[in-house]
Copies of this chain bind each other. A is one copy, B any other.
Amino acid sequence: MHKPAITQVAIDTTIAARWSGRAYDAKKSVSHAQLIALLEAARWAPSCFGDEPWRFVVWNKASSPEAWQQAFDCLVPGNQAWVIDAPVLLLTCADTLFGHNQKPNRFAQYDTGAAAENLCLQAANMGLMAHQMGGFDADLAREKFNIPAQYTAMAMISVGYPADISTLSGDTLARETAARTRKPLAQLFFDASWGQGVKDVI
């Protein structure tokens, strides 16, 4: 299903095409070269002091089915309902300390969000669909996968080929077919002073 962003002026087609769908094709796996492309995209995100504070764990159902299942078990039931068909899961983590001086990095989560977005865009570029989720048990993931305390678990991401929406039902289907929405530009983006919304393109 394609649900491109509706914008006042044309934007990058990959950014417009990316969206967080739920219908995955359980029969199509993601190749190792595709995985590396996803990670290369994340790797080349910008970061404060070039710290690259992101760490991602990747679980590929095809090569590591047991570990994939353990990662899946960390998700809340509402996400498990549709993630079950996704061949790849990831967990993004942010390094709380700068590498060069071991002091707190206040940009760690911000920069990790950028890297994750690059990954999602690269997925869209390759005809894959990536969906980030905050709905998982971060403590359980830390315990299962021995994530050091220095790293904050941020989001899980499902990746795979999109399937026909007929594979979904109920609430998940309703969310899949609902129109994508965003707040008006002027509510989020201000011109020269806080609260003064930018003017639309006429």
Contacts and interface: CB of A to CB of B under 8 A. Distances in A.
Interface of A: 5, 7-12, 14-16, 18-20, 32-33, 35-37, 39-46, 48-50, 52, 54-60, 63-64, 67-68, 94, 106-107, 109-114, 116-118, 120-122, 125, 132, 134, 145-148, 154-155, 181-183, 185, 188-195, 198-201
A114 to B, nearest CB: 4
A41 B8 CA distance: 11
Contacts of A194: 55, 57, 145-148
A106 to B, nearest CB: 8
A185 B155 contact: no
Oligomer: number of copies:
2
Main SS at interface, chain A = mixed
B43 A16 contact: no
Contacts of A50: 181
Given A48-B134, A55-B190, A58-B189, 8 more contacts: A44-B182, A48-B155, A57-B191, A57-B192, A94-B110, A107-B154, A111-B113, A113-B117
A138 B24 CA distance: 43
Given A10-B37, A12-B14, A125-B12, A198 B58 contact: yes
Contacts of A11: 37, 40-41, 44, 122, 125
Contacts of A120: 46
Contacts of A199: 32
Contacts of A48: 132, 134, 155
A42 B194 CA distance: 17
Nearest to A10: B37
B55 A200 contact: no
